[in-house]
Amino acid sequence: MCGRYALTLPQDAMVQVFAAAPANDLPEGPRYNVCPTTQVPVVRAGGERRALVPMRWGLIPHWYKTPTDGPLLFNARAETVAEKPAFRAACRERRCLIPASGFYEWTKTEDGTRLPWYFKPVEGDVLAFAGIWQDWGPERAPTCAIITCAAGPTMSEVHHREPVTLAEADWPLWLGEVEGKAAPLMRAAPEGRLARHRVGRAVNSNRAEGPELIEPLIDEDDV
């Protein structure tokens, strides 16, 4: 799964990397502890140019009368995203990229203590999560979810799921800018795309913020 991530790339850098026109109301950064239900920058296909826009992380199906009418859908499984009623139309018609600098996952000790890990790109400053989106409610508020898949070699020792991260060459296909089947893109990161290191337990709180959250753990007493 992917339930927490960081985004430290400045807005002008995201605009350049994704060749996207920015909205005026993008959430401010940097952010080192992005949580579900918050507004996040998302790249979607536009007319002549991609758009970088804010969306609520947590897709809300059209039949929800309130955002809390059912489960919080911040992830969608690659194996079933094309079939589940909450996701299938978005997977077919409204795919997006969700920029991140890295993401967190946890292991547990025998006594249940949660130990956080930080995953980041081996090369470059940004990851592009495969996402889907749809509008909800009378105000047509945009909402999104991150696609996850079975863990690959870098991730599997920490967790059995991971967010789908897309190489730049695959962005046009995922966004529907070129013809082709996008389903084969929903796979684990190849070996060499992601690096990982342990970080301090401060990030276990969803209220924590600051660059120290992604720093490699030095104090072994924090285990």
Q: Which residues are catalytic?
A: 2, 105
Residue with tokens 């239900």: 37
Q: How many CB atoms lie within 10 A of CB 93?
A: 11
Q: Specify the DSSP class assigned to residue 41.
A: E
Helix (H, G, I), strand (E, B) or coil at 45: coil
Q: Is 109 exposed, middle or buried (0-12, 13-18, 19+ CB in 10 A)?
A: exposed
| Partners of 192 in beta bridges | none
Q: Is 86 exposed, middle or buried (0-12, 13-18, 19+ CB in 10 A)?
A: buried
Residue with tokens 């401060």: 202
Q: Which of 221, 119, 218, 111 is nearest to 164 (CA)?
A: 119
- C-alpha 79/C-alpha 81 separation (Å) is 6
